[in-house]
Amino acid sequence: MIIFKKVVDIQQYIKNKVDEGAQIGFVPTMGALHEGHISLICKAKQEARVVVTSIFVNPTQFNDKEDFEKYPVSIEQDMAMLIDADCDVLFIPSVSEMYPNGTDNMPAYDFGYLETVLEGTQRPGHFKGVGQVVARLLDIVNPHYLYMGQKDYQQCMVVGNLLKQLNSSIRMVICPTERDDDGLAMSSRNRRLTEPQRAIAGLLYQCLVSIQAKKDDGSFDIVKKECEDLLKAKGFNTEYISLADAETLELLNEYNNNRKMVALIAAKIGVIRLIDNLLLN
């Protein structure tokens, strides 16, 4: 695996590869890698791409200072995992390499409705930061394919919207969420859970499964209340349990099997914030 820290160097390498006829697959990450990330790399490898992974903990997408400061960093372990997964290129830029003129003069993208619901409401400014960093990374790497995880469902929609705004021909491939045995969606933040917190974290997925189970003959309101009560009793602080149109993220009050639906959940256990989602039909 070749490691680049400088924009000019990775750009030259990618240009040479593309001139040789290679297709570039890109997996942007913030490090603290887990099997979810590795599944994206494997998918890209299966499709015979030259795989570029970036590790950059982007300061502009954190609306919570503590979340940024405590974001897990494990670069040595990450590199070992990337080598095992046969990743071709790792890009680890510094903040000044990514934002040489600061962030104030970077283009700011408007994601409209997507910024006003769910993660957009709970994490003001988050998607502006995601848009900014993903646009910059895509400009540097200029891949043919971009691999993203379904775990961050709303982020995938935001990035899809970004690609449209950029008039980009990059194809986004959304890969299924990887889960631990109890259903907990793999996430870098899971490492920060204490043992007792980890023992109950799988309940978020169980809530999504019970929402799915009731979709044909149940009431969303009732199952949502049951999930809220269960999570509260176990000590979670639930931010939202929502049902939405899977294509537009329009929030739905009730099940509607004529539409493609997704259930989305966000809750804190102690200071750790977890999100998850499940396509229902």
Residues 143-162 touching ligand PAF, rule: CB under 6 A, are 152, 155
* Piece in contact with ligand PAF (CB under 6 A), picked from 23-31, 62-70, 99-107, 219-227: 23-31
130 interacts with ligand PAF by CB under 6 A = yes
269 interacts with ligand PAF by CB under 6 A = no
* HEC profile of the chain: CEEECCHHHHHHHHHHHHHCCCCEEEEEECCCCCHHHHHHHHHHHHCCCEEEEEECCCHHHCCCHHHHHCCCCCHHHHHHHHHHCCCCEEECCCHHHHCCCCCCCCCCCCCHHHHCCCHHHHCCCHHHHHHHHHHHHHHHHCCCEEEEECCCHHHHHHHHHHHHHCCCCCEEEEECCCECCCCCECCHHHHHCCHHHHHHHCHHHHHHHHHHHCCCCCCHHHHHHHHHHHHHHCCCEEEEEEEEECCCCCEECCCCCCCCEEEEEEEEECCEEEEEEEECC
30 interacts with ligand PAF by CB under 6 A = yes
Residue choice 81, 134, 140, 157 for contact with ligand PAF (CB under 6 A): 134
Residues 83-122 touching ligand PAF, rule: CB under 6 A, are none
Query: Which of the residues are catalytic?
Result: 37
Residue choice 24, 32, 36, 58 for contact with ligand PAF (CB under 6 A): 58
61 interacts with ligand PAF by CB under 6 A = yes
Residue nearest to ligand PAF (CB): 28
Q: Which is nearer to ligand PAF, 131 or 183 (CB)?
A: 131
190 interacts with ligand PAF by CB under 6 A = no
* Piece in contact with ligand PAF (CB under 6 A), picked from 73-81, 88-96, 126-134, 249-257: 126-134
Sequence-separated (6 or more) residues with CB below 8 Å from residue 233? none
* Piece in contact with ligand PAF (CB under 6 A), picked from 9-17, 42-50, 130-138, 265-273: 130-138
Shortest spacing between CB 94 and ligand PAF, in angstroms: 15
* Piece in contact with ligand PAF (CB under 6 A), picked from 25-33, 163-171, 219-227, 261-269: 25-33
User: Which positions lie near ligand PAF, rule CB under 6 A?
Assistant: 28-30, 58, 61, 130, 133-134, 152, 155
